Amino acid sequence: MFKLPKNKCIRKTILNVVSVYLTTTILLVLALSYMYLSNQEKHIISLQQEKVDIQSQQIINELELLDDNIVEEVAFYPRLNNIGSAIYDIDKNLIFSTFNEELSSINQKQFFKDNFIYYVYKVEPYYLGAAYLVIQKEKTYEFNNELTKIATIVISIILFLILTSFLLVKILIKPLSDNLNLLDKFIKDTTHELITPTSTILNNIEVLDLNKVDEKNLKKINRIKIGATTISNIHKDLSFLLLNNRQKSENKNLNISDILNQRVEYFKILANNRNIDFKVNIQDNIYTTIDSHRAERLFDNLISNAIKFSTKKGTIFIFLSTSSNHENIKFSIEDEGIGMKNSELDKIFTRYKKLNDNISGFGIGYDIINSIIKEYDIDIKITSSENTGTKVTLIW
């Protein structure tokens, strides 16, 4: 059975191509079927016409016989199997009918009404006063048969088209899909390979006795720590992005004030390196139900973005508090950086979209933020102006 690839982009492309292909071909098949059916309908009617011509003549002959013997008390109107008939006078008033349907007009030689075809014949002389003979015949089962046949063929063609379209798209998209899978595998392997060395570097720096290190070497160790922290952060983001779909959230009632304080502390070394100052206003002991790993990714990405886009010697304002009625939690982070245009704000959540090529990164930060705020139904508001800074506010 055909399985859609896991990659969202490929899946979307396949579905788009298939839907366009199927819509156009199905419309074409339906148009052809309609044309064929109309043609068949005409053919069936003409075939029926020949039979009905004979039957109408039979009725007219019987009417003639009745008219010759009209002195009898009762004239029994001729009735034929499988058809209904009616006679009308010259002013088109009904004289007698064997069917119940009322006809408002008999001006056409042939017409459809409900499930019947009506054939109108002129009668002369006017036997029993009849100037018109109307024959009623069911739309026949030949036509229904034809309809069933066409419906079966159309459904089969549509099923065949669905199947072939998916196979075709799969064949066409295979090279692209293979390359993307390869890239995915490469990123996964690289990410995995980064865990051990990064952790080793960071752990060893932590246990170093910095009192015994001279100032020159302390600066070097600091740079190593900054580099390792950056790699660790990238590693965590990539892991989250790659494993997000497979890892189930372990939600717990967590003290996010503590988590945010820890994350601010973690990023201080990066901020200090660029002479960026943190102005922090975090209310103590704010609790909410969230997965600790996801809370960490959310704050890390917002803080690291603020650092990346800040100008040197700038200030980053971080604020966390509950609303006066304790129903909502409000978090905001504001930088004094390069800011963004309004047009750029619309594209901010697109994965791999880098708004500024001069700043390092993969363009995945806001994609991660977006997936987390969606999961926890958190409202986000981003205000930004060029060369002034950006403020991101979260409310949940």
**Where does this chain bind other proteins (CB under 8 A)?**
66-67, 70-77, 89-91, 93, 95-96, 125-131
Q: Which is nearer to other proteins, 95 or 187 (CB)?
A: 95
Q: Shortest approach of other proteins to residue 61 CB, angstroms?
A: 15
Q: Which pairs with CB-CB distance under 8 Å and at least 24 residues apart come from 352-356?
A: 356/309
Cβ proximity to other proteins: between 96 and 287 the closer is 96
Q: How far apart are CA 74 and CA 128, in angstroms?
A: 12
Q: How far apart are the first and last CA of the chain?
A: 43
Of 129 and 363, the one with the shorter C-beta distance to other proteins is 129
- In the complex, the smallest distance separating the C-beta of residue 107 from other proteins, rounded to whole angstroms, is 16
- How far apart (Å, rounded) are the C-alpha atoms in residues 239 and 296? 13
Closest distance to other proteins from the beta carbon of 123 (Å):
9
Residue 104 DSSP class: S
Q: Which is nearer to other proteins, 106 or 205 (CB)?
A: 106
Task: Give the C-alpha separation, 234 to 365, whole Å.
Answer: 10
Could you give the CA distance from residue 154 to residue 347 in angstroms, rounded to a whole number?
A: 44
Structure tokens at 10: 């490929």
Paired sense of beta strands 277-282 and 132-138, if any: unpaired
What is the distance of C-alpha 324 from the center of its chain? 40
Specify the residue, 73 or 215, whose C-beta has the smaller distance to other proteins: 73
Select 71 or 207, whichever has its Cβ closest to other proteins. Answer: 71
Give me the least distance between CB of 86 and other proteins, in Å please: 11
Tokens of 326: 């304790």
Instruction: State the minimum distance, in angstroms, from the CB of residue 91 to other proteins.
Output: 4
Q: State in angstroms the smallest separation of the CB of 118 from other proteins.
A: 20
Q: Give 211's DSSP letter.
A: G
Structural contact between residues 380 and 333, judged by C-beta atoms closer than 8 angstroms: no
CB of 144 to other proteins, least distance (A): 34
Q: Which is nearer to other proteins, 88 or 299 (CB)?
A: 88
Q: Which residue has the tokens 């986000």?
A: 380
